[in-house]
Amino acid sequence: MNLVLLGAPGAGKGTQGALLAGRIGAHKLATGDLLREAVRAGSELGRRAKSYMDAGELVPDALILDLVRDTLAQGDSDPKAIFDGFPRTVPQAESLNAMLRELGTPLDGVVVIDVPEEKIVQRMSGRRTCSDCGRIYNLHTDPPAKRDVCDVCGGKLTQRMDDHEETVRHRLSVYREATEPLIAFYENSSIPVHRVDGDRSVEQVQSQILERLGR
């Protein structure tokens, strides 16, 4: 199944995407994770993307599309993916449709995770991510057993540069302006759009998604 996860920053796309990938046997393609990896590696892409990311702005479409094209090209012969954080603009969505058409594996659905903005600001202040395995925690709702240490691999937990309140509020306004219109874009296409209430527990959100997908 090829799926797009749509939702504001902090809506839970990464959390739900990781769970879903295991459940439906697809791999997760998260442009935010790929970009952060590029920044850590100090690659040309990382250097070009960093200032946009730190400021909570979108990285230019051309850079993102090259990144996704390269990642899909490196994949196996059955390129089923859960797209998390991509597409984020109408031109990205149009390019994704074209890329998947070329691969002969069209999009099966779009899942929109809805969460009120004030909840998001609160969630983001507590997010910590394992710098080794990428497991996502929340100090308020899903803390690690030992402070700053990943339960899964013992890696160090870190706070993202773009999770400070002012940047989160800016990312939310960028989402409203550039990414929210994608919901109408998909609703006006033949691709099924499934909306879920993301202001529930992680397990309840996952159940809603599986139910909407008929799993």
Q: Distance between CA 185 and CA 10 in Å, rounded?
A: 22
Q: Does residue number 127 form part of the binding site for ligand AP5 (CB under 6 A)? A: yes
- 30 in helix, strand or coil? strand
Q: What is the distance, to the nearest Å, from the Cα of residue 58 to the centroid of all Cα atoms in its chain?
A: 13
How many residues touch ligand AP5 (CB under 6 A)? 37
Q: Does residue number 93 form part of the binding site for ligand AP5 (CB under 6 A)? A: no
Q: Does residue number 79 form part of the binding site for ligand AP5 (CB under 6 A)? A: no
Marked catalytic residue, from 28, 88, 123, 128: 88
Stretch that binds ligand AP5, among 73-81, 86-94, 148-156, 182-190 (CB under 6 A): 86-94
Q: Does residue number 208 form part of the binding site for ligand AP5 (CB under 6 A)? A: no
Backbone angles phi, psi at 53, to 5 degrees: -65, -45
Q: Is 146 a catalytic residue?
A: no
Site for ligand AP5 in 16-35 (CB under 6 A): 31-32, 35
Element (H, E) at 68: helix 61-74
Q: Is 48 a catalytic residue?
A: no
Marked catalytic residue, from 28, 36, 127, 135: 127
3-state helix, strand, coil in the chain (%, to 5): 50, 15, 35
Quote the least distance from Cβ 108 to ligand AP5, whole Å. Answer: 19
Are 2 and 26 contacting, i.e. CB atoms less than 8 angstroms apart?
yes
Residue of the chain from 75, 201, 211, 215 that contacts ligand AP5 (CB under 6 A): 201
Task: Please give the full DSSP string across 85-150, using - where no structure is assigned.
Answer: S---SHHHHHHHHHHHHHHT----EEEEEE--HHHHHHHHHTEEEETTT--EEETTTB--SBTTB-
Q: Does residue number 64 form part of the binding site for ligand AP5 (CB under 6 A)? A: yes
Residues that bind ligand AP5 (CB under 6 A): 7, 9-15, 31-32, 35, 52-53, 56-59, 64, 85-86, 88, 92, 123, 126-127, 136-138, 141-142, 162, 171, 198, 200-202, 205
